[in-house]
Structure 1
Amino acid sequence: MNILLIEDDSVFAQTLMRRLISGGCTVSHAANSSEALLQARAVRPTHIILDMNLDSESGLALLAPLRALLPATRIVLLTGFASIATAVQAIKLGADDYLCKPASLAMILATLNGQASDDSVSEGIVMSPDRVEWEHIQAVLGRNDGNISKTARQLNMHRRTLQRKLQKKPVSS
């Protein structure tokens, strides 16, 4: 497997690269979007692991150019800030799959290979009620194109309460 890892966190990138290489993969790394496009043209990877937040850039913006450049390459978006809305958006923009950090190496490899990831059940990942609420808020917000007032009305919630909930980082599973 020839993988391009697009990740701005150098410590995480080095750790993941070591694990993938020890698993028999060939891995190249890019830390930002311009580097990623150059690497994609030069290396022609069969698989791409793309971080959603690249410093001040969004990995979502890279999906269309990567898909146009490498239509047969399997692209997996990896993020620490998962939501249903961004998962749907990522798939619409060209990602083949979407994984939440932290993800085990086995889960990453299975997803890269296009295998159904029922691993989340076997690994005991169950969403907390707070996480379910966060996911639901993100989904409704996405359907309303980011309109806070409309989303608050649909959720039967005060607009300021919704804004406070959105300012918090997503709760862990």
Structure 2
Amino acid sequence: MSSQITCTYDFLNSPHAISNSSAKDIPTILSIEATFKIMIDHALYLETSLSIFEFYKSLYRWKRQVTSTFTPAFYYFSVEFDHDDEGAIVSMVPHAKQGNIQSIWGDERVNTLFPLDILVTCLFDLERQLRFDLEAYFDIQLDAFIRHIPYTLAKF
């Protein structure tokens, strides 16, 4: 039996909480939240509220670094959470042709290895769908926001 991973989210703010005129308004951008869930083999691994634009930017930047011969690790940190000691809120760490999803807030008993192509496809699909949903739900053009969304680098 192969392992399955599913990522879902539900926006917590009203559709009118942000507009294209807010593209440079960092406090407003950071205030837009979603409940984010990771299910592994139909069991809840992680459920947390996070700044969804900030999370999107982490996915967006990671996706731009992926090539046919190189898959970097994915890390999501928040500017509002000190991660120096604990690690990433969400990460995907490749190991040869496999990888796993981890979270400092996830169920520590779950440490499932997936084929790397499955994880990459999952994160690519998540980025694409999240972009579509952000633009549709809030009636915005994400390209106007992307360079203004805060981004925190890993300090490893």
TM range (shorter): under 0.3
Larger C-alpha radius of gyration, 1 or 2?
Answer: 1
Which has more strand, going by share of residues?
A: 2
